[in-house]
C-alpha cells in the first residue's frame, strides 16, 4: 500500500513536540514539516528523532519574491537557509509558494525579477540535492504559478498539487493534465468549493477528505494518470480555517486517527485506480 502522511501544522497539540508525538501515536510514519522562520531545524530534528520520515518540507512564504528591496533580500536568505536545513536532514523535496496566496493580500504581477529569484532558488536547491515543488494556490496568484511553471524548464522544479486550492479556486483548469508529468508532492484535504473573488482565505477549509464537496473519485482518477509515486500527504487544519468548525468537539487524537483512516482510503483508491 502507498505510504500516507500528514502536515505538522495540523493544530493537534499545544506545541510542535506535542503535535509530532500525537501524529506518531495515531499511527502515521510520514510528516510534512511546515517551516517557520527561526524554528525550521528544531521541528525537523524533533520529527526525525521521533522516528518519523519527512518526505518533504514546506518552506515559509511571502509575496516578496516579486519586488526588489530589503524584504526580498530577507526572504531569499530565509528560504536558502531552510533549503540548507532540508539538505542537512536529507529531505529531498521542498514545497514553495510563489506568493503568500491570499485574495486579500496580492503580490505584484508576475515579472522577470521574481522569476529569476525562483530560478536562483531552484539552482541553489539543486546544489544541495533538494528539489523545489511549486504549489498551486488561490485564483489571484494562479498567474504567478503558471508563469513560473511555464518559464522555468528545469528538472529540479516540480509541482505540488494542492487539491483543495485547485477545486476551490480554479476547478475548470485541468492542472493534473497540464503539469502532472512534473508532480513531486501532493496536499490532500477538502472544502465546500464556495469561493468567489473577494472572499478571504477562510474558505480554504483544509478539512478531512470526504468532509466537503470535492469529488475524490474524479480527483484520484486524474492523479492516477500522472507520474506521482510519493506519499499520500494530507494537509489539514483542525480548528483555524473557516466556519463552521466541525471538529471543535473532537479530541486531537480522535481527529488524527480519523485522518489516518481517510488517508488510507485515498491511498487504496489511488492504487485501485492505477490497476484499471
Instruction: Kindly report the average pLDDT of the chain as a whole number.
Output: 95
| Residue 37, pLDDT above cutoff 70 | no
Which among 4, 51, 6 has a CA at the least distance from the CA of 252? 6
Residue 241 pLDDT: 78
Tens-place pLDDT, residues 80-139: 999 999 999 999 999 999 999 876 678 999 999 999 999 999 999 999 999 999 999 999
**Alpha-carbon span 142 to 135, nearest angstrom:** 10
Q: What does the pLDDT read at residue 196? A: 82
Classify the C-alpha dihedral 200-202-206-208 as positive or negative.
negative
Task: Note the pLDDT of residue 200.
Answer: 66
Band of pLDDT at residue 10, cut at 50, 70 and 90? very high
Contacts of 141-147 with C-beta under 8 Å, sequence gap 24+, read 141/98, 141/99, 141/100, 141/101, 141/106, 141/107, 142/169, 142/170, 142/173, 143/109, 143/110, 144/66, 144/98, 144/99, 144/107, 144/110, 144/114, 145/98, 147/110, 147/115
Q: Which ranges of 50-162 would DSSP assign to H, the alpha helix?
A: 70-88, 112-127, 142-151
What pTM value is reported for the model?
Answer: 0.97
Q: Which set of grid coordinates corresponds to residue 6?
A: 500528514
Q: Which domain holds residue 220?
A: 4-275
Q: In CATH, what number is assigned to the domain containing residue 207?
A: 3.20.20.150
Per the structure, the count of domains in the chain is 1
List, for residues 191-243, the tens digit of each pLDDT value. Answer: 999 988 766 678 999 999 999 999 999 999 999 999 899 999 999 999 987 88
What is the model's pLDDT at position 240?
A: 83
* Residue 36 scores a pLDDT above 90: no
Q: Measured between alpha carbons, how far apart are the two ends of the chain, in Å? A: 16
pLDDT, residue 199, reads 65
Report the pLDDT value the prediction gives residue 201, as an integer from 0 to 100.
75
Amino acid at each position: 500500500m502507498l505510504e500516507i502522511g500528514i502536515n505538522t501544522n495540523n493544530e493537534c497539540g499545544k506545541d510542535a513536540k506535542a503535535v509530532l508525538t500525537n501524529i506518531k501515536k495515531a499511527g502515521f510514519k510520514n510528516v510534512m514539516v511546515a517551516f517557520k522562520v527561526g524554528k525550521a531545524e528544531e521541528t525537523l530534528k524533533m520529527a526525525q528523532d521521533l522516528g518519523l520520515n519527512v518526505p518533504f518540507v514546506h518552506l515559509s512564504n511571502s509575496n516578496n519574491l516579486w519586488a526588489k528591496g530589503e524584504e526580498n533580500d530577507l526572504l531569499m536568505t530565509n528560504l536558502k537557509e531552510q533549503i540548507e536545513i532540508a539538505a542537512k536532514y536529507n529531505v529531498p523535496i521542498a514545497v514553495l509558494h510563489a506568493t503568500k496566496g491570499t485574495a486579500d493580500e496580492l503580490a505584484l504581477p508576475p515579472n522577470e525579477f521574481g522569476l529569476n529569484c525562483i530560478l536562483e532558488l531552484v539552482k541553489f536547491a539543486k546544489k544541495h540535492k533538494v528539489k523545489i515543488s511549486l504549489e498551486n494556490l488561490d485564483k489571484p496568484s494562479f498567474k504567478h504559478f503558471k508563469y513560473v511553471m511555464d518559464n522555468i524548464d528545469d528538472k529540479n522544479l516540480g509541482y505540488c498539487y494542492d487539491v483543495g486550492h485547485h477545486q476551490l479556486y480554479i476547478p475548470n483548469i485541468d492542472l493534473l493534465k497540464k503539469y502532472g508529468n512534473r508532480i513531486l508532492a501532493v496536499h490532500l484535504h477538502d472544502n465546500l468549493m464556495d469561493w468567489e473573488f473577494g472572499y478571504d482565505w477562510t474558505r480554504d477549509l483544509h478539512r478531512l477528505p470526504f468532509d466537503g464537496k470535492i469529488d475524490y473519485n474524479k480527483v484520484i482518477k486524474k492523479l492516477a494518470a500522472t507520474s506521482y509515486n510519493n506519499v499520500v500527504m494530507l494537509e489539514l487544519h483542525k480548528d483555524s480555517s473557516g466556519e463552521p468548525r466541525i471538529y471543535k468537539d473532537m479530541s486531537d487524537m480522535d481527529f488524527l486517527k480519523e485522518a489516518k483512516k481517510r488517508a488510507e482510503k485515498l491511498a487504496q483508491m489511488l492504487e485501485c485506480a492505477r490497476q484499471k
